[in-house]
Structure 1
Amino acid sequence: MKLQRIGRSRGLALGAVAVVTSLTLAACGSDDNSDTDQGDPTKAANAADVTCGDKGELLAAGSSAQKNAMDQWVKDFQAACSGTTINYQANGSGAGIESFLAGKVAFAGSDAALKPEEVERSKEVCDSGQGINLPMVVGPIAVGYNLKGVDNLVLDAKTMAGIFDSKIKKWDDQSIKDLNPGVDLPSTPIQTVHRSDDSGTTKNFLQYLSAAAPDAWSYEADKKWPAKGGQSADGSSGVAAQVKQAEGSIGYFEISYADANQIKTVALDTGAGEPIVASTEAASKAIAEAKIVGQGNDLAMEVAYDTKAAGAYPISLVTYEIVCDKGNNSDTLKSVKAFLEYTASEAGQQSIADKGYAPLPTEVAEKVRKVIPTLS
């Protein structure tokens, strides 16, 4: 079978207000923090003008799915804006949202949009405003596995639901064999691994199972893992580490974690004709079908998890930066706007292209860029 790879109080004072300056920022794709890139003419050709905010420390927290993107953005922004430190704690979407709603961070990263009740709570910390969702990161959630001698594995939503619900217990189960003719599948017990923390990545994965296999998956799609059985680990990095070391295991995490740990990933049989392997290109095709369902400046999106479009990888997520539309802390507002303006810019989006992320769809990116300057 051919595989297609295609005014609230937050305690975040930034110190004295600095004069806003424009600096040149190279959109680097490297993790090298040395100064040797400063004279690189290829990087200079990709430079973008960035307006810096106030000096001091800016606190943020949340999604581990966007950690690698955030690491790159922070490195680039701090290189341009001397004196501004951005501290992003990748502790999971649930923890990030709770920190935001408690007024402990200037913005939160989440792989799931705010729930209605969370929007109501946000009004307590967003003076005269409320929390809104700004799409910033697009990427596929890979399903990684560790099975000696099996380099290519195809699963569909129904079979995957049975595996993660502990109903399919061995790798040579007939349902898996039917999807992988000619593959020598061992009778190794299946060990599933899921997130132990409240996670937007979990919610996206569960939304896929619910939408694509409604008869086989009856659990509610939320940030907390609902099914019994399996092993749990903290964060995407923890799930990936456990899958890498345990023979017969399978788990879900962003594709960057699969690449970094050299973990084999499942190809999905979506009914499109050919199984689809997780890739940024395939994620882009799936996200292209997503719709903005938020109102006004809220840009929450609805993803088509049951898509059968050719080349579209359905387990794809949109990570949001959650921020107040009005009533932001005046001490942090300039820096929040400056940083988000960079992350949403063409240069910012391009800087994470080699880290397992796809650029925002053009029409979505343009809407995000119009909202950020209106934050107050």
Structure 2
Amino acid sequence: MDLKRTGALLGLTALTAVGLAACSDDNTGSGDTAAQSVSGAECEGKPTLTASGSSAQNNAMTIFANSYALSCEGQTLNYNSNGSGAGVSEFTGGITDFGGSDSPLKEADYAAAEERCGSEAWNIPAVFGPIAVAYNLDGVELKLSGPTLAKIFNGEITTWNDPAIAEENEGVDLPDESITVIFRSDESGTTDNFQKYLDAASEGAWTQGAGKTFTGGVGEGARGNEGVSGAIGQTPGTITYTEWSYAKNQNLSMVKVITPADPEGVELNAETSGVTIDSARLENEGTNDLVIDTSSFYVPESAGAYPIILPTYEIVCSSYEDPETAAAVRSFLNIAVAEDVQAQLEDEGYIPVPDAFREQLLTAISEIS
């Protein structure tokens, strides 16, 4: 699948009043006031949708919610940014109309979701968010490889002037200072994706596996993207993984990631993330369950590709018991993936859905019943 990126970023539209914006304590960007009306939007179904989950997509979800309210008078979304684990469990428990997660459903989750829905559940990736490796070392610009990052996050490398870091940062004045790892204390798809990256890119240095719980065994925990990025900003000598928008909004230093194709390291930005997304593959080609094969990201063969990209999913029923809920979910998601709405996401630290992939999203959304 050859995914092409969307074009130029459109201007943000400020709203002075919206019936409802997404609800969260994690919102750090301008998404709470940004929206784009979608001309000709089909506004159907019940007036209020409820959803919860991934904090990594919260700023994007706020833009989506505002755009939905602006495009469809009288229709709103309540989104609670309480983490991917809660998003999945609340959806499968029938508490919400759809869930947000940084990782696709696992086997047990599929079974619970199908029992809740009375039909298959689908993963719809509406938001792509790069994961930054953020750190706090005054005046130091770092580049680090997968093996070195793995050894930092599993406690094998404990000081900033360790020979492995020095070798990858020749000529940089590294402090003789202890490294403090900050990790997500809550269940998080961001943690899952970052550990999958370490597992794939570390050449065997990471043996702790993946999953939504951090397994490195070192460091201090903080809740949510807001918690870990806030801890980095306040505490010298720290390092963490966090969704790009939070690192951008707090002006944190970010590691250039060394890949086999880029020994000098790849800076995290929209262009380098777009190169990676263009190489994306689907695990279930030919179905509407649009799970991204992220293994195609982690050890890129193309130069200029940032390797740690997080697809964020909206988890939906393929067929809802209530047709009014199905219609509202279709209406909301069609607005969320619309080109004019997606084009606003870059300022919030996300990568707009590639044009070719949007067609697959629209096909899947149209078949929600």
1:59 is matched with which residue: 28, 43, 50? 50
1:298 is matched with which residue: 260, 278, 289? 289
Question: Hey, what's the Cα distance between the residues in 1 that align with 2:91 and 2:280?
Answer: 26
Matched, 1:358 2:358: no
Identify the residue that residue 21 of structure 2 maps to in structure 1: none
Residues 44 and 252 of structure 1, relative CA distance in 2, 3 Å threshold:
closer
Question: Hey, what's the Cα distance between the residues in 2 that align with 1:28 and 1:322?
Answer: 29
Pick which of 344-353 and 225-234 moved more: 344-353
2:113 is matched with which residue: 94, 116, 122? 122
Matched, 1:263 2:274: no
Q: What do residues 38-80 of structure 1 show as CA deviations (whole Å, max 9, x unaligned)?
A: xxxxx99985321223453211011111111011111121122
8 Å Cα contact 1:29/1:354 also seen in 2: no
Tell me the amino acid that sits aligned with residue 29 of structure 1.
Answer: L
1:209-248 mapped onto 2 (5 Å cutoff)? 209-248=198-237
Q: Secondary structure at the match of 2:117?
A: coil
TM-score normalised per structure 2: 0.88
Question: Hey, what's the Cα distance between the residues in 2 that align with 1:52 and 1:205?
Answer: 37
8 Å Cα contact 1:138/1:283 also seen in 2: no
Matched, 1:346 2:335: no
Q: What do residues 314-333 of structure 1 show as CA deviations (whole Å, max 9, x unaligned)?
A: 10111111101113433322
Paired-residue identity, %: 39
Tell me the amino acid that sits aligned with residue 210 of structure 1.
Answer: D
Give the superposition deviation at 1:202. Answer: 0.6
Question: Hey, what's the Cα distance between the residues in 2 that align with 1:249 and 1:286?
Answer: 27
8 Å Cα contact 1:272/1:309 also seen in 2: yes
Identify the residue that residue 70 of structure 2 maps to in structure 1: 79
Residues 331 and 44 of structure 1, relative CA distance in 2, 3 Å threshold:
closer
Matched, 1:29 2:29: no
Question: Hey, what's the Cα distance between the residues in 1 that align with 2:183 and 2:71?
Answer: 38
Question: Hey, what's the Cα distance between the residues in 2 that align with 1:255 and 1:353?
Answer: 10
Q: Secondary structure at the match of 2:164?
A: helix
Matched, 1:323 2:305: no
Identify the residue that residue 368 of structure 1 maps to in structure 2: 361
Q: 4+ residue stretches of structure 1 with deviation over 6 A?
A: 43-46
8 Å Cα contact 1:171/1:186 also seen in 2: yes
8 Å Cα contact 1:136/1:319 also seen in 2: yes
Give the superposition deviation at 1:178. Answer: 0.7
Q: What do residues 127-177 of structure 1 show as CA deviations (whole Å, max 9, x unaligned)?
A: 2x1211111111210000001221x11100111001000111110111111
Question: Hey, what's the Cα distance between the residues in 2 that align with 1:212 and 1:139?
Answer: 19
8 Å Cα contact 1:139/1:317 also seen in 2: yes
Q: What do residues 185-228 of structure 1 show as CA deviations (whole Å, max 9, x unaligned)?
A: 10111011111111111111011100011410001211111121
Structure 2 residues without counterparts, runs of 5 or longer: 1-9, 18-33
Identify the residue that residue 170 of structure 1 maps to in structure 2: 159
8 Å Cα contact 2:158/2:179 also seen in 1: yes
Q: Secondary structure at the match of 1:124?
A: helix
Identify the residue that residue 7 of structure 1 maps to in structure 2: none
Residues 261 and 56 of structure 1, relative CA distance in 2, 3 Å threshold:
same
Question: Hey, what's the Cα distance between the residues in 2 that align with 1:44 and 1:288?
Answer: 26
Question: Hey, what's the Cα distance between the residues in 1 that align with 2:194 and 2:64?
Answer: 26
Question: Hey, what's the Cα distance between the residues in 1 that align with 2:189 and 2:317?
Answer: 20
Question: Hey, what's the Cα distance between the residues in 1 that align with 2:58 and 2:48?
Answer: 18
Identify the residue that residue 142 of structure 1 maps to in structure 2: 132
Question: Hey, what's the Cα distance between the residues in 2 that align with 1:54 and 1:142?
Answer: 38
8 Å Cα contact 1:282/1:312 also seen in 2: yes
Question: Hey, what's the Cα distance between the residues in 2 that align with 1:345 and 1:34?
Answer: 22
Question: Hey, what's the Cα distance between the residues in 1 that align with 2:125 and 2:265?
Answer: 28
Tell me the amino acid that sits aligned with residue 292 of structure 2.
Answer: M
Question: Hey, what's the Cα distance between the residues in 2 that align with 1:245 and 1:143?
Answer: 16
Q: Secondary structure at the match of 1:51?
A: coil
1:264-279 mapped onto 2 (5 Å cutoff)? 264-273=253-262, 274-279=264-269
Q: Please tell me whether Structure 1 or Structure 2 has the larger radius of gyration of its CA atoms.
A: 1
Matched, 1:195 2:184: yes
How many residues in Structure 1 have an aligned counterpart in Structure 2?
Answer: 340
Pick which of 280-289 and 169-178 moved more: 280-289
Residues 225 and 326 of structure 1, relative CA distance in 2, 3 Å threshold:
same
1:282 is matched with which residue: 261, 272, 294? 272
Q: What do residues 267-297 of structure 1 show as CA deviations (whole Å, max 9, x unaligned)?
A: 0111223310111221121122221112621
8 Å Cα contact 2:37/2:68 also seen in 1: no
Tell me the amino acid that sits aligned with residue 33 of structure 1.
Answer: L
